[in-house]
């Protein structure tokens, strides 16, 4: 199992950051996704541009404060949580992602993959919020 935690400061109000991150109907800002399929209030599926699907189940939602879910696809299972905090000059977003590879040979690659994915997500988020 691998865990990656990143703390990101954004010069935007927490309401704007929260809305952007949790608005699954508008995810064009995500450079890694082709689309998100919303199944119901607690379930959605992300489809990458290469066609790979990951299923998500929301496990906690405290508006403007905390959002968490579990996720699973053919290669991994895991969890993600985001803590949204008002900070000087904007918002502090703390993202923690834990992933368990389903195939033993993938385990050495998971920590690096996780860091790259989180960095891409946060770079995309920054671009969306600052345009």
Tens of pLDDT, residue by residue over 73-124, are 999 999 999 999 999 999 999 999 999 999 999 999 999 999 999 999 999 9
Q: What is the pTM of this model?
A: 0.93
Number of domains in the chain: 1
The CATH number of residue 43's host domain is: 3.30.530.20
Alpha carbons 24 and 112: distance in angstroms, whole number: 26
**DSSP per position, 40-91:** ETTEEEEEETTS-EEEEEEEEEETTTEEEEEEE-SSEEEEEEEEEEEETTEE
Look up the domain containing 54 and give its range. Answer: 2-129
122's enclosing H/E stretch is: helix 110-129
Q: On the CB side of 105, how many CA atoms lie within 13 Å of its CA?
A: 0
């Amino acid at each position: 199992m691998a865990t990656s935690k990143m703390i990101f400061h954004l010069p935007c109000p927490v309401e704007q950051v929260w809305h952007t991150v949790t608005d699954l109907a508008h995810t064009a800002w995500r450079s890694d996704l082709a689309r998100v399929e919303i199944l119901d209030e607690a379930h959605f599926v992300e489809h990458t541009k290469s066609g790979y699907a990951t299923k998500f189940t929301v496990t906690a939602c405290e508006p403007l404060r905390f959002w968490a879910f579990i996720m699973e696809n053919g290669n991994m299972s895991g969890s993600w949580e985001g803590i949204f905090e008002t900070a000087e000059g904007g918002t502090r977003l703390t993202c923690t992602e834990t992933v368990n590879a389903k195939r033993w040979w993938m385990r050495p690659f998971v920590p690096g993959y996780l860091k790259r994915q989180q960095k891409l997500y946060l770079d995309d988020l920054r671009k969306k919020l600052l345009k």
